[in-house]
Amino acid sequence: MTETKTVIPREGPLERSWNWLTETQIWKSIFRHNAPITDRNRVLVVLSNVFLHLHPVRLRKSGVRLRYTWCMGGLSFFLFLSLTFTGVLLMFYYRPTLEYAYTDIVGLREHVPLGIMREMHRWGAHAMVITVWLHMFRVFMTGSYKPPREFNWNVGVIMLVLTLLLSFTGYLLPWDQLAIWAITVGSNMARATPFLGSEGPGASLLALGDVKLIHAAADARFALLGGTFVGEGALLRFYVLHCVGLPLIIAVLMAVHFWRVRKDGGISGPV
């Protein structure tokens, strides 16, 4: 007869401190379950975490594949988060007035050694425009806008427009030649809005007798710029829209978008 011997694995100091840590009241108050290595805990980790519960617990294999999703929607969301973060940091150093706007940006460049916040914000914004386009492209190519996802496609289109507007409003803020002329070219279009622009077709019809209702100081462009040219009013308006107005709207729409992805049956796949 051979004697059976039970060998208790020896715990190193690392395991011992890990075991101690995960048994503390603090740890247990944060994480309600053990490491997600069993099926049960894989369910729990998604269900009990507010961020992870954007996801379902399980999803179709093709929906995880990069070759199907290109990860463009996820990257758009991530870029939005990183833009919010860098944007808030930039707001500490930037004042949207004619007096300070340009010099504050110069200050950011000259006085912050190795500073890359403005770069990350600018390139991140460009990248987000591209990822949002490519996300739309992927959703179209997989036919994922088809019923029951029509409404979510529409939410997406609105967010695409908002992404462009966010980028557009931010373009003015450095208050350099590049900024003001790009916005001048862009906002001159509003002057030609049918009926509501001072040089748009039909604007002359909107008049009470001899009094023109639509003129250069009361038209779509004026509403956009807060003035008849790209000046102080435009800078403030674009700043408020860029930092508060548009991000709030797009954040709400993102919530709707993610919610509807789940409610419309999760990531699309063949029926």
What residues numbered 26-55 form the site for other proteins, per CB under 8 A? 36, 39, 42, 45-46, 52, 55
CB atoms within 10 A of CB 268: 21
Q: Is residue 197 within the footprint of other proteins (CB under 8 A)? A: yes
Please tell me whether residue 56 adopts helix, strand or coil conformation: coil
Chosen residue from 31, 68, 93, 258 binding other proteins by CB under 8 A: 68
> Quick one: 138 or 212, whose CB is closer to other proteins?
138
Please tell me whether residue 206 adopts helix, strand or coil conformation: coil
What b/e string do you get for 19-32 counting C-beta neighbours within 10 Å, with b at 16 or more? eeeeeeeeeeeeee
Q: Is residue 212 within the footprint of other proteins (CB under 8 A)? A: no
Q: Is residue 119 within the footprint of other proteins (CB under 8 A)? A: yes
Helix 150-172 vs helix 117-141: crossing angle, to nearest 10:
160
Distances (CA, A) of 121 to 7, 74, 83, 102: 57, 18, 6, 17
Distances (CA, A) of 85 to 124, 235, 243: 11, 22, 11
Q: Is residue 271 within the footprint of other proteins (CB under 8 A)? A: yes
CB atoms within 10 A of CB 65: 11
Which of these ranges, 6-14, 16-24, 186-194, 244-252, lies near other proteins under the rule CB under 8 A?
186-194
Q: How far, in Å, CA of 225 to CA of 210, rounded?
A: 26
Q: How far, in Å, CA of 57 to CA of 48, rounded?
A: 11
Nearest distance, CB of residue 4 and other proteins, angstroms: 36
Chosen residue from 94, 96, 191, 239 binding other proteins by CB under 8 A: 191
Q: Is residue 206 within the footprint of other proteins (CB under 8 A)? A: no
Chosen residue from 21, 88, 112, 189 binding other proteins by CB under 8 A: 189
Interface residues for other proteins in 72-101 (CB under 8 A)? 74-75, 78-79, 82
Chosen residue from 12, 13, 113, 147 binding other proteins by CB under 8 A: 147
Nearest distance, CB of residue 144 and other proteins, angstroms: 6
CB atoms within 10 A of CB 101: 21
Nearest distance, CB of residue 36 and other proteins, angstroms: 5
Applying CB under 8 A, what is the total number of residues that bind other proteins? 100
Which of these ranges, 10-18, 184-192, 239-247, 253-261, lies near other proteins under the rule CB under 8 A?
184-192
Distances (CA, A) of 198 to 7, 184, 215: 88, 16, 5
